[in-house]
Structure 1
Amino acid sequence: MAEFVGPRLYSCCNCRNHVALHDDVISKAFQGRNGRAFLFSHAMNITVGPKENRQLMTGLHTVADASCCDCHEVLGWKYE
C-alpha cells in the first residue's frame, strides 16, 4: 500500500500546474457561473488580470480573473 507523501494540492484542470494547498480552502460552498466554486485564502502559480466590476450572484463586486501561469487557463477570479 502506497503511503501518502506531501500536502494535498489543487491543480490547473488543463496542465496540472499546482495552484493551491488543501489547507488554503476557506469554503467549498461557492457557486460560479459554470457550477461549483471554491474560495481559497491563497493561490500560487497564477497570473491576475485587470480589475473589473462584475455582477456576481451576491451583487456587484470588483474582481480580476486568475489564470494558470503555465497554460493561461482561466481558473476563476480574485476579489479585489
Structure 2
Amino acid sequence: MGLRYSVFIDSDHHKGATFGCAYCKTHLSSSTLVISKDYRGKTGDAYLMDQVVNIIQGKKVHRQMITGRYLVSDIMCHQCGHCVGWKYHKSDVKNQKYKEGKYILEVALIAQCK
C-alpha cells in the first residue's frame, strides 16, 4: 500500500490555527471550524468540530454518554491510524440532534501545526 493523499490546510489563507494528528502531524481541521470547546472526551478536553479531513471512520456503535445515547464512530488519522476522536451520527435525545454529523477532536490527541 502506498502513501495516502492528504488534504493540506493552509493556515496562511485563513485566520485560524491548523489542527493535526499529535503523532504524525497530518492536518485534520482548522480552529475556525470549532463549534464549541466545552466538551470532554476519553482523554480530557475536546472540541466539537464542524468539519474534519484526512480521517478514516470506524464501525458505527451505540454509546451512552453524559448527555444521552448516540450512534457514533471513532475517527482515526488516515496516515498513521491513531484515534483522534469520534463522529456523531445519530442522537436518541431530541435536544442533542444538533451534534449529528459533527465531530469531536480530543485535545490530547491533536497538535497545532505550522
Q: TM-score w.r.t. structure 2 length? A: 0.63
RMSD: 1.1
TM normalised by structure 1 equals 0.89
Greater percentage in strand: 1
- Residue 27 of structure 1 is matched in structure 2 by 36
Gap regions ≥5 residues in structure 1? none
Q: Tell me whether 1:37 sits opposite 2:43 in the alignment.
A: no
Structure 1 stretches of at least 4 aligned residues deviating more than 2 Å after TM superposition: none
Equivalent residue number for residue 66 of structure 1: 75
- Distance in 2 separating the partners of 1:47 and 1:75: 10
Counterpart for residue 4 of structure 2: none
Gaps of 5+ in 2: 1-10, 90-114
Larger relative CO (CA 8 A, sep 6+): 1 or 2? 2
- Point out the structure with the larger helix share: 2
Equivalent pairs counted in the alignment come to 76
Percent identity of paired positions between Structure 1 and Structure 2: 36
* Separation in 1, partners of 2:27, 2:42: 23
- Residue identity in the other structure for 2:19: Y
